[in-house]
Amino acid sequence: MQQPKTAKKIMTDTFKKLGLALEAGDFVKARDLLMREVKKPGPDQARHQHNLGLIFEQLGAQTKAMYWLKQAFQHGHQRCRAGMELIRLHLEDGGLDEAHMIANDIAQDLTDQGDLLACYELAVLAGDEQLARLLDQRLNQLGSHTHRLNGL
The DSSP secondary structure of 32-55, one letter per residue, reads HHHHHHHTS-STTHHHHHHHHHHH
CATH number at 1-74: 1.25.40.10
- Rounded Cα distance between 59 and 27, Å, is 7
Task: Name which residue leads in pLDDT, 52 or 110.
Answer: 52
4 pLDDT higher than 70:
no
Which residue ranges make up each domain of the chain? 1-74, 76-152
Average pLDDT over residues 28-32: 85
> Max Cα separation, the chain?
67
152 pLDDT higher than 50:
no
CB-based contact 103:65 (threshold 8 Å): no
Q: Is the dihedral of CA 33, 36, 37, 39 positive or negative?
A: positive
107 pLDDT higher than 70:
no
Among 93, 17, 22, 19, smallest CA distance to 59 is for 22
127 pLDDT higher than 50:
yes
pLDDT score recorded for residue 119 = 74
Q: What average pLDDT is seen over the chain?
A: 76
Residue 25, classed as helix, strand or coil, is: coil
Tell me phi and psi for residue 2, to 5 degrees: -85, 140
144 pLDDT higher than 60:
yes
CB-based contact 83:92 (threshold 8 Å): no
Q: How confident is the model at residue 151 (pLDDT cuts 50, 70, 90)?
A: very low
Task: Name which residue leads in pLDDT, 96 or 16.
Answer: 16
Least confident stretch, 24-38, 54-68, 117-131: 117-131
Question: What type of residue sits at position 40?
Answer: K
